[in-house]
Amino acid sequence: MKHLSKNKLPSPATFERIVYKNPSEYHYMKVQLEFQDHGFRLTDAQFKQLIVLALRDLFGEVGAALPFDVLTYEEKTLSAILRICSSGLVKLWSSLTLLGSYQNKKCAFRVMQVSPFLLALSGNSREFILEE
């Protein structure tokens, strides 16, 4: 019986697999602000101030300092795309949910889409119109 130690098997090929838990650092939210009386308008600075106010109500000064960006803002429809780093998504979303009024006017935030990729917010299957 020949001892097989002379015929050594080649060392296994090194195989490396990198798994990202979350490939994106930021989350993007498409939101729309709805007022009870529909004629109310806000500038983009007032819009951001409103969100900071909501964060301060629920999470205090530490929450109000959460760095988020308003990437686009449409004054007519009061809809915007927000960018927040992934660790702060839950805080931002919960404070938007619990915001009830602005300057004694009742309002509500409707969250249309949330995605870790900005490209996904360009299309929405609910608003997709088939053109023939």
Partner 1 sequence: MVRFKHRYLLCELVSEDPRCRACLEERVLFGLVRDAIARAHGAFGAAACAVAFTVKYLNAYTGVVLLRCRKEFYQLLWSALPFITHLENKGQRYPCFFNTLHVGGTIRTCQKFLIQYNRRQLLILLQNCPDGEERESIRKSVMSCSLEEPQEDQLSESGSEEDATEME
Which residues make up the interface to partner 1 (CB under 8 A)? 55-63
Residue type, 106: K
Min dist. Cβ of residue 132 to partner 1 (A): 50
Considering beta carbons, is residue 58 or 121 the nearer one to partner 1?
58
Min dist. Cβ of residue 59 to partner 1 (A): 4
Considering beta carbons, is residue 45 or 90 the nearer one to partner 1?
90
Alpha-carbon distance of 89 to 28, in angstroms, equals 9
| Best CA proximity match to 92, nearest among 128, 53, 125, 36 | 53
DSSP state of 69: E
Count other C-beta atoms under 10 Å from residue 27's C-beta: 23
Considering beta carbons, is residue 40 or 59 the nearer one to partner 1?
59
Min dist. Cβ of residue 68 to partner 1 (A): 16
Two tokens at 94?
A: 């919960």
